[in-house]
Structure 1
């Protein structure tokens, strides 16, 4: 399977201009693209429930900043999901696979697990039992990362080349919307339950229960979808093999193929570091906003409104950048923008509880992060080239991308505590430098040019 094409020629916009806006819109309304859109929402929804939303809940419960920072470690499944991705590629889920197919069966199974684990987290008490909270959050992250493995493989395999661009844009936008629903949306819902007279702990419990119900969006989508033809072909090709042989081939094929490429280790290091600046600051953004005096609803309203608009505009801007410039130049622009956006939080720390300043900071963060994400997802997709182990390869890459969010960011709370908020966000800019240096080195080595001209 060839990689999707990422635009690296400057004349791509002129070529795209030949397509009318009606034809462009029609692509976004194709059933396969709409399926990917709703699956993107389902993938983005649970991430914050074991991340930033949980951190707000813990901070309100009086949990120490250092402990909150360490809770980034519950994202470990996102960094290790490549370990069980070969199982998703190779094994059948009893009853589910027979009834719904190779990819759809795993989709429905992972979503069932996700609903159950979110409900387990809903009944937690961060103040009295942080160990139980950590365990439940770890289960949510495990179910969520398993769903991500399947959705990523389904997206890459189900869309024809003519729909890849629309599918990727829809997926990224819906993913970010899902994250916003489980951050700002969840906070509004919790506040609404409190307004009815519920105690804070009960309000948080029912807020998480609503989030569990929203996972059904992905379940309905999976039921309406059809199994990708590439997945069916791969399944038929390996039907005579034993389960252990299929797992071994999926695992070994994915790793050996990737590691045989030129500068593979450096490319993997770049995958780890590119979004680190986002992850390091993002771990502490919600506690920072609460600490300097904003209410939960202040933060939620701005994230929900201004943040959503900035995310959607940033997604389109990321697509424009990738079409206008080479892949290496696009990654450089996205990397610099998402790093420099942290300075808006340093300014907010000095200004204090000014809602306009908060809106500007959240806008800068969401806009630049969306630009970087669209370009980065296009890069990751271009690296996955074989339907026999699409899930494993993409899981490996996205798991490595999550290392920054999970492990490298786990000490962010201690850094913020020692340096203070203004200096902390300056440090968040500095941590982007290694990825930018590695980007320049890989570009000189011809790494990005070797991927070919790929349209986003």
Structure 2
């Protein structure tokens, strides 16, 4: 019985490990953009009077998540000028992708899809958001694998998934709640309501940005092998 209690206490202490806690915030940062491409954006476009066929095409921007393996080797090996030297390879790519996500969401917020010729510009911003978010996923996976030993990997993965779900809930139900609260609906479309909603969503990415700046760069497998 004493050994079982010690095991439980040890497991609970592991959840408070800085690397495990950081994955909760990184998971939130990874889950945030997804529904801003899917459900929240789809409702915005429908309220703006965009044809359903055009709304469907916007979901193609999420294909970046399916094909991120194509540029994952570049993220894994390619150093970024200035940033890699200052932050390290993993944190440099995390910071770049997160800043790009914020920029993409702000660009989307500044475009009123009900205006003529606005959909093409918005589509480009949405594609940039999908690409940036997929790149962040790659960088987070690399960071998680290198930042802790194998005995913490399961906890880090589960904490990441919990944060991811919270992020999706925030950008899904949270965004719809904000847009409705600001006064937009199917009967009474308000571009300003959606603009403020997406700007607020972009500010939530500060969770991931601050985490990237606070955490330390993980030691790569090559360096660990040399030390051993």
TM-score, normalisation: structure 1 = 0.45
The one of 197, 219, 233 equivalent to 2:223 is 233
Q: Is residue 114 of structure 1 aligned with residue 104 of structure 2?
A: no
How far 1:111 sits from its partner (Å)?
Answer: 0.9
The one of 38, 59, 77 equivalent to 1:90 is 77
The one of 177, 197, 208 equivalent to 1:218 is 208
The one of 35, 44, 55 equivalent to 2:31 is 44
How far 1:155 sits from its partner (Å)?
Answer: 1.1
Residues 181-212 of structure 1 deviation map (CA, whole Å, 9 limit, x = unaligned): 011111122223228xx971011011100111
User: How many corresponding residue pairs?
Assistant: 218
Unaligned runs of 5+ in 1: 1-15, 237-456
* Residue in 2 that maps onto 1:165: 154
* Greater C-alpha radius of gyration: 1
Q: CA 1:45/1:91 → structure 2, altered by over 3 Å: closer, same or farther?
A: same
How far 1:70 sits from its partner (Å)?
Answer: 2.5
Q: CA 1:232/1:34 → structure 2, altered by over 3 Å: closer, same or farther?
A: farther
The one of 142, 159, 174 equivalent to 2:163 is 174
Distance in 2 between the 1:86 and 1:20 partners?
A: 39
Q: CA 1:98/1:53 → structure 2, altered by over 3 Å: closer, same or farther?
A: same
- Assess if the C-alpha contact under 8 Å between 1:78 and 1:145 holds in 2: yes
Residues 89-121 of structure 1 deviation map (CA, whole Å, 9 limit, x = unaligned): 111111111100010111111111111111001
The one of 17, 21, 45 equivalent to 2:8 is 21
SS of the counterpart of 2:155? helix
* Residue in 2 that maps onto 1:66: 53
Higher relative contact order, structure no. (Cα contacts within 8 Å, ≥ 6 residues apart): 2
Runs of 4+ deviating beyond 6 Å:
none
SS of the counterpart of 1:229? coil
The one of 188, 191, 196 equivalent to 2:177 is 188
* Residue in 2 that maps onto 1:408: none
Q: Is residue 203 of structure 1 aligned with residue 193 of structure 2?
A: yes
Distance in 2 between the 1:117 and 1:72 partners?
A: 15
Distance in 2 between the 1:105 and 1:66 partners?
A: 38
Distance in 2 between the 1:32 and 1:68 partners?
A: 39
Distance in 2 between the 1:151 and 1:126 partners?
A: 32
Q: Is residue 142 of structure 1 aligned with residue 131 of structure 2?
A: yes
Unaligned runs of 5+ in 2: none
TM-score, normalisation: structure 2 = 0.88
* Residue in 2 that maps onto 1:133: 122
Distance in 1 between the 2:148 and 2:41 partners?
A: 34
